Amino acid sequence: MFYLGVDTGGTFTDFVLFDTSTHDLTTFKVRSIPSDPAAAVQAGLHRLRAEFNVLPSAIARLIFGTTVATNAVLERKGASVALLTTRGMRDVLEIQRQWRRRLFDLYLEKPAPLATRRHRLEVNERLLASGEALVPLTEEEIARCVAAVGKLPVESVAICLLFSFLKAEHERALGDAIRAALPQLHVTLSSELAPEFREYERTATTVMNAYTAPKIELLAKRLGDVLHAEGFRGAFGIVQSNGGLMSLDRARSNAVRTLLSGPAGGVVGAAAVAGYSGVKSILGFDVGGTSTDIALVENGEVRLHADGEIAGYPVKVPQVGVHTIGAGGGSIARPVLGMLKVGPQSAGANPGPACYAQGGAEPTATDAAVLLGYIDPDYFVGGEIKLDRDAARVAVQEKVGAPLGLDADAASLAIIDVQVATIVAGIRKVSVQVGKDPREFALLPFGGAGGIYAGLVAEEIGMGTILLPRHPSVLSALGMLMTDVRQDVVVTRIARLDQMKAQEIAETFRGLKDQGASQLAADGQPLERLEFILTCDMRYVGQAYEINLLLRDTGADAFEPSALTRAFHAEHKRLYGQCSEREPVEIVSYRVGAVSIVEKAVLAPLLPRAASAPKPRGRRRVLLDGKTGWIECPVFERSNLAPRDTVEGPAIVEDRGSSYVLRIGHSLGVDHVGNASITLAPREKARQWLG
C-alpha cells in the first residue's frame, strides 16, 4: 500500500510516494500545466505505473497541495461575486479601512474590491452588539434580495451582515433562500466561514472565498474525474492553509482555506522532518522561483494565526505563520538609485533567468549562483534543464557589473549578498519582531535554492546550526503525508475574565469541540482518534489587538479565569518584554482545532555505509567570497551520503533538485534518517568579508 503526496508548483509538480510496508520514499517531479493542474497529476500517476510499477489502485491516500485559489487571486481571475451586506454598509469592503499600503505616492491605486459596487446589495436588517435585532429580517426582504441577486451576472454570492458572528439567523435565512431559489450559485456565509468581529476583515474573507470557490469547484471535479478514470479508489485530501487536511468536498465550500496550501505543507514537513533529527525549534525558509517563504516553528509546534493577507486582501482564517518575501531564484537584479536591488520583480519560470536561455535577458539570483559555481549547469533538475553559463555572465556583467563598476564575479557575489540581506530581514520579521531570538533556532533551508543561501544567512544572524533535510526540494509534498485532518472553528464572545466563571469558558469550548467534531464526522472522518487544540484570543481591556494564547493544560482547572489571566500576563511578557498585572484582561475569541489523527509517512532509519569516507562525485571551482577567491572544492551527491558521514566545508552537496553550499568553517554530519546537520564555527567578533 502507498501514500502519495502531490504539490503543484509554478514550474514543477512534486511527487513523494511512501511505501507503507518498506517505508521507502520515492520522489520525482513532473512539469506543471498551469491551465490544468489535474493533468500533471495524471502524468505523475502514469509515471508511477511505468517507472515504479505502482498502480493507482494501490494508493491508499493521495494528498494534494494546490495553488489554484492563490493564482486566481494573484492573476485576478476569480469568479464574479455578489455581496449582501447590512443596510448602510455597502462600501465597507471597498473603503478598506481607509488605509493605504505605501506612503508618498500620489499615483497609488488600491486593490480593486473583489465584489464591485454594482454587485453589492444592502439588506434591510440590523443586529445590535447585544445580538438583538434592531431591524428584523422579514420574508418580504428575503424575497426582494433573492430576486435582486437573481438578476445579477454573478457565479457566487457572499453574505456578510453586521454582528452575524453573534447571531447567524439572518445570514442563514438569506443563504437558505438563495440556495433554494438559485442553486447554480455558490453561497458563502461569513457566520459559517469566519465568525469573528471586525466587519471589514470578515467581509473581505467571505468575498475572497466566494471569489475563489468556483475555481476550486472546477479543480475538484476535474481531479475527481481523473483519479476515478485512473482507477484510484483511496482517500483523497487537500492541504489547508492551517497545515491540516480536508476532503475535496469540504474544499468546495472552503476555497479560502487553500490559499496557503503549498507553503503550509512545507512548514508541516519541515517541523516533522526536523523532529526526526531531534530538532524542535526551526526557522524554515523555502526559496522558490519568485519568492521565499519563511516560517518559525518553536518546540515542534506549528503555530497558527488568523490575520493573513494575500495581494493586499485580508484573510481571516487560521493559517500557518508563513512570511513571504519577494526574493527567489528568478528575482531580477538591477541598480536602483545607486544601490543594488534584487527582486521583487522576477523572471519567473518563463522566460526565467538568463541562464535558462529561453529569451530571458535579465540577470537573476540563479544566474549569479551559476556563475559562482554553486549550481552545476549540467545537473539542474537532474539535467532536465541545461543552463547557459555564458548567457548568465553576459546578463550579470551588462546589467549589474558595468553600471556599478564591478566585474562579473564581484557582481554575482553582490547579488547573493543582497538576497541574503533580504532573507535575513524576513527572518527578523518572523522572529525578533515577535520577540523570538533566531539564534535559538536551527535554520532549515528547503526548495531548490534554499541551500545556496543557508550558510550565509546563518552566519549573518549568528545561528549555530543548519538542518538540511534529506529531500529538500520536495519537502512540501512530503509534509502533506505527515499531517492530520483538521477542522478549525471559532467564536467571538468578548467578556472580561474577572467577571467570568470557569464553567462558562469550559462550556464555550465544549460547544466548539462538538462543532469541530461534527464537522469532521460530516466530512467522513472516523472520530476514534480525535484531538483538540484550544486557544483563545485575549487582550487587556481597551487594547484593540489580541494575543492568541495556547491552552496547554486542558484539565479541570484550565479554564479558571485567574489561571487564564496569569497565562496571558506571562505570554504578554514573553512576547513584548512587559505586562501590567493590575490591568483587567478580556477574552475576545475562542478557537478550537479539531484534529482527526491519520496514518502518516515516516522517515525510516538508513544504514550507515560499510566503507569509511564518502566519495565526492567530482570537484568544481566556486567563489565563496572576495577574500578567499576562486577555490576548488569537492562535490557530493546527496544520495551517496550515509549516516555518520561527515563533510568539511568548502564543499557542494547536491541532488537532482537542489544544491547546498557548505562554506568554510562549516561542517556537515549526516544523521540516522539522512538529514544533514551543519555546524558553524563560533561567530567572529567582526565580519571581514564585507570589507
Partner 1 sequence: MTAFDPVTLEVVGNYLVSTVREMGATLMRTAYSVVLREQMDCTTALFDPNGQLIAQADHVPSHQGTLSFAARFVARHFTMKPGDVVILNHPYRGGTHHPDIMIFRAIFFEDRQVALAGALGHQIDVGGRSPGSVATDARDVFEEGLIIPPMKLYREGELVEEVLQMIEANIRVPEETLGDIRAEIAATAVGERRYIELCEKYGADRLSHIVANLLDHSESMMRRDLAQYPNGTYKAVGFMDGDGLSEDMVRIEVAVTLEDGSVVIDFAGTSPQLKGPFNCSLSSVQAACYCAVRYMVDPAILQNEGCYRPVKIVLPEGSVVSPIKPAPLSGRFHTLERIATTIVQAFNGARGDDAVANGHGHLTSFSTSGRRPGNGSTFVLFEYHGGGWGGTSRCDGLDATFGLMANSYDNPVEAIEMAYPLLVETYEFIPDSGGAGKHRGGLGLRKHIKYLQGSGYFTNRSDATKFGAAGALAGKDGLPARHALKRRDGRLEVLPSKATNLTIAAGDTMILETAGGGGYGSPLDRDPQDVLRDVIDEKVTHRAAQEIYGVVCDPDRLSLDQRATEIQRAQLRRDRQNGG
* CA distances, 127 to each of 82, 187, 415, 544, 563 (Å): 21, 21, 56, 22, 34
Q: Which listed range, 32-40, 67-75, 106-114, 610-618, lies at the site for partner 1 (CB under 8 A)?
A: 106-114
Q: In sequence order, what DSSP letters do the residues of 250-288 get, joined into one string?
A: HHHH-GGGGTTHHHHHHHHHHHHHHHHTT---EEEEEE-
**Per-residue x/- marks for partner 1, 130-149, CB under 8 A?**
----x---------------
Does residue 556 belong to the site contacting partner 1 (CB under 8 A)?
no
Shorter beta-carbon distance to partner 1: residue 33 or 494: 494
* 429, 513, 609, 672: which one binds partner 1 (CB under 8 A): 429
Q: Are residues 505 and 564 in contact, defined by beta-carbon separation less than 8 angstroms?
A: yes
Does residue 128 belong to the site contacting partner 1 (CB under 8 A)?
yes
By C-alpha distance, which of 590, 569, 571, 572 is closest to 581?
Answer: 569
For the segment 583-602, give every residue that binds partner 1 (CB under 8 A): 583
By C-alpha distance, which of 62, 365, 397, 73 is closest to 239?
Answer: 62
**Per-residue x/- marks for partner 1, 301-330, CB under 8 A?**
------------------------------
CB of 211 to partner 1, least distance (A): 18
Contacts of 484 (CB under 8 A, 6+ apart): 244, 245, 595, 596, 597, 598, 600
Centre a 10 Å sphere on the Cβ of residue 617 and count the other Cβ atoms it contains.
17
CB of 339 to partner 1, least distance (A): 5
Contacts of 34 (CB under 8 A, 6+ apart): 10, 71
Does residue 685 belong to the site contacting partner 1 (CB under 8 A)?
yes
For the segment 243-282, give every residue that binds partner 1 (CB under 8 A): none
* 422, 473, 596, 658: which one binds partner 1 (CB under 8 A): 422
Q: Which listed range, 198-206, 250-258, 294-302, 507-515, lies at the site for partner 1 (CB under 8 A)?
A: 198-206
Q: Which listed range, 7-15, 31-39, 337-345, 467-475, lies at the site for partner 1 (CB under 8 A)?
A: 337-345
* 414, 585, 670, 678: which one binds partner 1 (CB under 8 A): 414
For the segment 153-172, give every residue that binds partner 1 (CB under 8 A): 162-163
Does residue 527 belong to the site contacting partner 1 (CB under 8 A)?
no
For the segment 483-522, give every residue that binds partner 1 (CB under 8 A): 494
Q: Which residues of 193-211 are buried (b: 16+ CB within 10 A; e: fewer)?
A: bbbbbbbbbbbbbbbbbbb
Distance between CA atoms of residues 363 and 342, nearest Å: 9
| Ramachandran quadrant class, 97 (left: phi over 0; alpha: psi -120 to 50; beta: rest) | left
Shorter beta-carbon distance to partner 1: residue 340 or 392: 340
CB of 394 to partner 1, least distance (A): 21
Distance between CA atoms of residues 687 and 416, nearest Å: 16
Shorter beta-carbon distance to partner 1: residue 108 or 527: 108
Contacts of 408 (CB under 8 A, 6+ apart): 371, 393, 396, 397, 401
Contacts of 140 (CB under 8 A, 6+ apart): none
* 22, 50, 104, 612: which one binds partner 1 (CB under 8 A): 104
Does residue 543 belong to the site contacting partner 1 (CB under 8 A)?
yes
Size of the site for partner 1 (CB under 8 A): 72
Shorter beta-carbon distance to partner 1: residue 130 or 138: 130
For residues 478, 482, 67, 385, the Cα torsion angle rounded to the nearest 10 degrees is: 0
Does residue 432 belong to the site contacting partner 1 (CB under 8 A)?
yes
Grid cell listed for 660: 547546498
Shorter beta-carbon distance to partner 1: residue 545 or 607: 545
Does residue 77 belong to the site contacting partner 1 (CB under 8 A)?
no
Distance between CA atoms of residues 468 and 454, nearest Å: 9
Q: Are residues 175 and 149 in contact, defined by beta-carbon separation less than 8 angstroms?
A: no
Does residue 112 belong to the site contacting partner 1 (CB under 8 A)?
no
* 545, 555, 607, 612: which one binds partner 1 (CB under 8 A): 545
Distance between CA atoms of residues 633 and 680, nearest Å: 18
Q: Are residues 155 and 186 in contact, defined by beta-carbon separation less than 8 angstroms?
A: yes
Does residue 613 belong to the site contacting partner 1 (CB under 8 A)?
no
* 21, 35, 53, 102: which one binds partner 1 (CB under 8 A): 102
- What does residue 127 show for φ and ψ, rounded to 5 degrees? -100, 155
- Specify the 3-state DSSP secondary structure of 491: strand
* 20, 71, 116, 465: which one binds partner 1 (CB under 8 A): 116
* 20, 34, 43, 90: which one binds partner 1 (CB under 8 A): 90
**Per-residue x/- marks for partner 1, 558-587, CB under 8 A?**
--------------x--xxxx-x-xx----
Distance between CA atoms of residues 419 and 361, nearest Å: 19
Q: Which listed range, 411-419, 445-453, 592-600, 670-678, lies at the site for partner 1 (CB under 8 A)?
A: 411-419
